[in-house]
């Protein structure tokens, strides 16, 4: 460790040394923006603006009052224009508070973002990070206007419809692992919906860590190019970041790629060349199953230095090209199907730290091949894997 300089050490720990830009907003503006971000998060989660009414949740009613006041505040529309992709500020206010009769402190109190909140005032925001600190999580790379946003806008609209219909859910991120950050996945980060649209080549860093560059599209019509690990850190910084689940119904993929099909990939099956005694003994039936949107050869490059691949070279023994597929959902399907057959193996990484690699299963290749065929014809839903017979069987009713 003594051989690392400060910058190298920070890089090894996954910490960016570049300082955040100084805030360009006044404290008042930062508080107004922070208050509006709460309303945005409510909108993303529920698919609608907060509403008044005694039958509503207390926090929804508070957000509704706050939104009314923001709609009346002359400076709010210009200040929040870039954030207000849902046009929440264009609606008519429902309350009768006369903004002109309020001084600045009273107005901020109405907004729930006063400088010195009362100890028992549940409408106030406590321990709210500054706007720049909160936005730093998603401004890892420079944002630009998305030139082909018309291609993605229907996806965001469909996601909102599926959330309203209960087909998708907005869930807490438990691990914020790299495996969750994949092409075709939707997140809520920094108060906006983000879509991982592309993966632009996987590579190994100077510290032998896997990384790749992502194209991330946001629901306000902007995009950024960001490293996968940087996006992971953004999720860690935003403690209320959320994952939007895949639809509970619908096909995994189609037989023929469509023009708007931007979710395609390859299922790959690997066999380890590790000298680990357990792996060597069961080599013919221990397989890693994964899904990638790029080249499999790029995915496994540097396998001998990655604990994910048992710190050994691997052999690619099967590939299945698929169209109109969401990789995260496909991988979850394999985990559900073969979860009980996942190997229980702990190895030490290059630094001596114990690691339990995932996605390695004690399943014969012919069973994996059958599973893929059943995925294609839709019959996989009714099947389970029997470890005793090493076969797929009909699930008991």
Q: In this structure, are 281 and 381 located in the same domain? A: yes
| Structural domains of the chain, count | 3
Domain range for residue 360? 265-394
Q: In this structure, are 47 and 111 located in the same domain? A: yes
Establish if 174 belongs to a structural domain: yes
Q: In this structure, are 304 and 377 located in the same domain? A: yes
Establish if 186 belongs to a structural domain: yes
On whether the pTM is more than 0.75, the answer is no
Establish if 182 belongs to a structural domain: yes
Establish if 258 belongs to a structural domain: no
Establish if 389 belongs to a structural domain: yes
Q: In terms of DSSP bridges, do strands 210-218 and 222-227 run parallel, antiparallel, or are they unpaired?
A: antiparallel
* Mean pLDDT of successive 10-residue stretches along the chain, which has 397 residues: 50 50 68 84 82 77 86 85 83 45 44 43 42 44 82 90 82 73 87 89 73 90 89 82 70 46 71 91 92 82 84 91 69 82 82 78 92 81 85 78
Give the pLDDT score at 367: 93
Give the pLDDT score at 324: 61
Domain termination site, one of 90, 106, 134: 134
Establish if 239 belongs to a structural domain: yes
Establish if 126 belongs to a structural domain: yes
Q: In this structure, are 390 and 273 located in the same domain? A: yes
Q: In this structure, are 155 and 57 located in the same domain? A: no
Establish if 251 belongs to a structural domain: no
Give the pLDDT score at 355: 78
Give the pLDDT score at 175: 64
């Amino acid at each position: 460790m003594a051989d690392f300089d400060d910058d190298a050490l920070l890089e090894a720990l996954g910490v960016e040394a570049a300082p955040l830009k100084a805030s360009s907003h006044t404290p008042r503006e930062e508080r107004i923006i922070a208050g509006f971000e709460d309303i945005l998060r409510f909108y993303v989660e529920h698919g609608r603006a907060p509403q008044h009414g005694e039958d509503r949740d207390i926090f929804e009613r508070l957000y509704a009052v706050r939104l009314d006041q923001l709609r009346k505040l002359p400076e709010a529309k210009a200040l929040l224009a870039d954030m207000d992709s849902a046009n929440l500020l264009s609606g008519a206010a429902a309350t009768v508070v006369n903004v002109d009769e309020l001084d600045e402190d009273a107005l901020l109190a109405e907004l729930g973002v006063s400088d010195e909140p009362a100890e028992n005032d549940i409408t106030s925001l406590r321990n709210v990070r500054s706007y720049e600190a909160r936005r730093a999580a998603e401004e890892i790379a420079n944002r630009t206007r998305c030139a082909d946003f018309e291609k993605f806008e229907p996806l965001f609209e469909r996601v909102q419809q599926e959330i309203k219909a209960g087909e998708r859910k907005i869930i807490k991120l438990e691990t914020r692992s790299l495996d969750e950050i994949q092409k075709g996945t939707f997140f809520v980060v920094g108060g906006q919906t983000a879509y991982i649209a592309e993966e632009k080549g996987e590579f190994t860093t100077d510290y032998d860590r896997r990384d790749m560059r992502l194209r991330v599209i946001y629901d306000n019509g902007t995009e950024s190019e960001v490293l996968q690990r940087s996006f992971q850190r953004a999720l860690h910084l935003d403690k209320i970041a959320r994952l939007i689940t895949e639809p509970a119904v619908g096909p995994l993929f189609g037989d023929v790629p469509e023009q708007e099909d931007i979710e395609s990939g390859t299922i790959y099956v690997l066999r380890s060349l590790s000298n680990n005694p357990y792996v060597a003994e069961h080599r013919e039936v221990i397989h890693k199953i994964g899904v990638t949107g790029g080249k499999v050869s790029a995915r496994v490059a540097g396998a001998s230095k990655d604990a994910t691949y048992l710190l050994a070279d691997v052999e690619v023994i099967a590939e299945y090209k698929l169209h109109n597929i969401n990789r995260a959902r496909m991988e979850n399907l394999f985990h559900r199907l073969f979860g009980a057959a996942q190997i229980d193996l702990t190895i030490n990484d290059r630094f001596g730290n114990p690691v339990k690699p995932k996605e390695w299963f004690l399943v014969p290749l012919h069973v994996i091949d059958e599973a893929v065929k059943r995925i294609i014809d839709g019959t996989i839903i009714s099947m389970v894997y029997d470890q005793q017979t090493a076969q797929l069987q009909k699930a008991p009713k």
